[in-house]
Structures are given as structure tokens and as C-alpha cells.
Chain A
Amino acid sequence: MDSANHVENNALLSNASNVIAITAHEFKTPLTTITSVVDLLSAKLKADQHMNAFYEKQLARITTEVFSLNSMVDEMLTINNIVSGHIEAVKELIDLSNYVLPLKEQYHAYIEDNRQPEIVLTGTPKKIYASPAQITRILTNLVSNACKYSRDKAPVIHLDYQEHAAVITVSNDGIGIPEQDLPYLFDPYFRGSNTAGIAGTGLGLSIVKSFTAANNGNITVTSSPDKGTVFTLAFKYPDTCK
């Protein structure tokens, strides 16, 4: 590619990235109008004593779907920022247990039968150098997935302070990932061949992979169809970072 073409392509990419960012933000006002209309209908039905369980359930469903669409828009924005180089990790020394322990309560209501994710901590606590916002995003994404796909048992989150790195495993006993899908699992927009009918954008794990790498981390996955999946995150301690 000659330099003129290279400059032209960069300008096109930059314009496309700006269009995506502006459009994604523009989605949010109509989403707010929809949730407000639902709230207004709900308040009016209650005030006029016409509210019943059917209306309540369907109105709540609209709000849930709006926030689901909003999450998709946020994921699209994050990927856009990563691709266009606009993401900068603001790092500090953090203890991962402060981010792992709250997940138990945070996801208590997420699983329909009220199972709580099981949290296991082992080893001697040691801090890592990472962005709190990005660590939170990594963990919430993996644990949301684990809750979504778990079946009989609740997901297990194990933080193990090993000699050179803090290692977190997030396990579930879900449908598993077919072997042929594993090489593409972290690619943007890729969805497992056995996830038809399950909501998702295919962007979450791509974001997790980018944020993990940006914080001196590494992520791997092992999975057996019909048995479950284990994601393993490893974050090196500052003095062992090369």
C-alpha cells in the first residue's frame, strides 16, 4: 500500500469510527424516551387502578429489553474505542479480592433460582497493577456469561494468589463450547455454533481479551460440550512484569 492510500484508509477508518460513536450515543435518547413512556404508562395504569399482573409483566419486559439493547450499544462503543485506539487503561495497585468478593451478592438475583456464585480465595494476597474499571468489566462479563450458561450448579469463581501471578478461574457447568469454535471465541461478533436462541452480541469476550491484554494479563479457555467451561485469567504481579 502506498503512503497516500495508507493516509486515505486511516482517514476513512477514523471517520467510520466517529460515525459509529455518534450514532451509538444518539441511540440512547430514544431508549430513554421508551423507558420513560413505559414508566408513564405504568404510573397511569396504577393511578387509574387498571394495572394487573399481565400489564406489569409486559411493561417490565420492554424495559428489560431496552437495557439489553443499551448494553449492546455500550459493547459496540467499547469495541469501536479499542479498534480506533481510544482506550487508555488508567492503572493503579489493586487487590483483586476487592473486585471478586462483591460478585457473590451482585449476581445473587441474576440466577433465576437464587443460587449464588461460589467464591473461593487461596494463597497470600498480593496486589497487581491494573485499571479498576477494566478489571470490573472483565469480571462482570465472564461472570454474567457463567450465570447465563450454568445449569445445575452455580458458577464458581476462584482467585488464587500464585507465586508470580494472580490467577482467576470462572467455571460453569453449562452447555460448553464446541471444539471447532474455540479458536474464534475471542473474535469480535463471533458467537458459538450452539448458542442459537441465547441473547448476546458476540462482542463481550473480545472486549475481555483486549482489556486483559491491556492489564498485563492473559486469558485462556477450556471447555467440554455438555460438561461446562472454564475461563482462566492470569495477571502478573508488578515486579514480575517484563
Chain B
Amino acid sequence: MNANILLIEDKAGLLDTLKSLLELHDYTVFTASHGAEGLTVATRYLPDLVISDIYMPVLDGYELLDRFKQDPQLCKIPVLITSAKNDPQEIEDVLQKGAAGYLTKPFVFAHLHEEIKRLLVRTA
């Protein structure tokens, strides 16, 4: 599988580790350290999937989901949100805003990979 994935995460250590893990599994990975940068990268490369943190500087995950929904080119790209919050209300809010999935931190890569495969199959 050689899908293109955009990773948006403001913690450099986590961003770098997840990028290496995804590349080990043959994905092509683009990265961004906040939502605004993520939006620019997404518009330029039109990835197959976006994995994004929710609480980030400049432009957070909620705003990112809104911008994706309003953009005819980006609105079909699934966005998987990862967050430290395990609050059912927050999960529902994020899904209502258009996220394709929600993964609570901390997670193991196997779980993230299952979600990636599920979302890529869904949009194939």
C-alpha cells in the first residue's frame, strides 16, 4: 500500500516518530506542525488521509475540520483526529464536525494502523 498521509501534530517528537512508523509501513508521509500549515500542505498535495491532533497553536483541529468541510477539493479527504481527551461529548462534537474517526491518546501503532486501513478502504 502506498497511500499519501498528512500528519498534523505540534509536538515534534511525536510527529517525527509517527512519520517514521508510517514510512516503515510504506506510506508516503507529509507533515505539518499546526492546522494552518496542515491546510496549506493538504491543498498542495491532496493526501488520501489526514491524521490530526486537535489542540494546536495557530489553527486547531476544530477549525481545520471546518475549513476542510468548506473546501470542495478537501471535503472528501477523511480526517482522523487524535486527542488526549476521552470525553464522550468531545468525541461526539468532533465527529459531528466531520471527522472520520477519533483516537484517544495514548495509543499503540497497531490501533492507529487499523483505523488508517479502515478509512482508506472506505474512501477507495
Contacts and interface: CB of A to CB of B under 8 A. Distances in A.
Contact of A37 (B11, B17, B84): B17
Interface in A27-72: 28-37, 39-40, 43-44, 47, 63, 66-67, 70
B107 A32 contact: yes
Given A32-B106, A70-B106, A43 B17 contact: no
B14 A43 contact: no
A25 interface: yes
A38 to B, nearest CB: 8
A39 B106 contact: no
A14 B62 CA distance: 26
A66 B109 contact: no
A43 B106 contact: no
A35 B85 CA distance: 17
Interface residues of A, number: 23
Contacts, number: 55
A39 B85 contact: no
B21 interface: yes
Contact of B105 (A29, A39, A133): A29
Contacts of B20: 40
Contacts of B107: 32, 35
Given A44-B24, A63-B108, A36 B18 contact: yes
A67 B88 contact: no
Contact of A67 (B17, B84, B106, B110): B106
Contact of A40 (B11, B17, B86): B17
B85 A29 contact: no
Interface residues of B, number: 20
A126 B107 CA distance: 38
Nearest to A90: B88
A74 B108 CA distance: 17
A47 B26 CA distance: 13
A81 B13 CA distance: 30
Contacts of A25: 84-85
B109 A33 contact: no
A210 B66 CA distance: 38
Contact of B14 (A36, A47, A70): A36
Contacts of A70: 106
A35 B108 contact: yes
A43 B25 CA distance: 9
Which one of A29, A31, A37 has the greatest number of beta carbons of chain B within 10 Å?
Answer: A29
Interface of B: 11, 13-14, 17-18, 20-21, 24-25, 82, 84-86, 88, 105-110
Q: Which 3 A/B pairs are nearest by Cβ-Cβ distance?
A: A28-B84, A39-B109, A31-B106
Given A35-B106, A35-B108, A36-B17, 8 more contacts: A25-B84, A28-B106, A30-B11, A32-B106, A34-B106, A39-B108, A43-B109, A74-B86
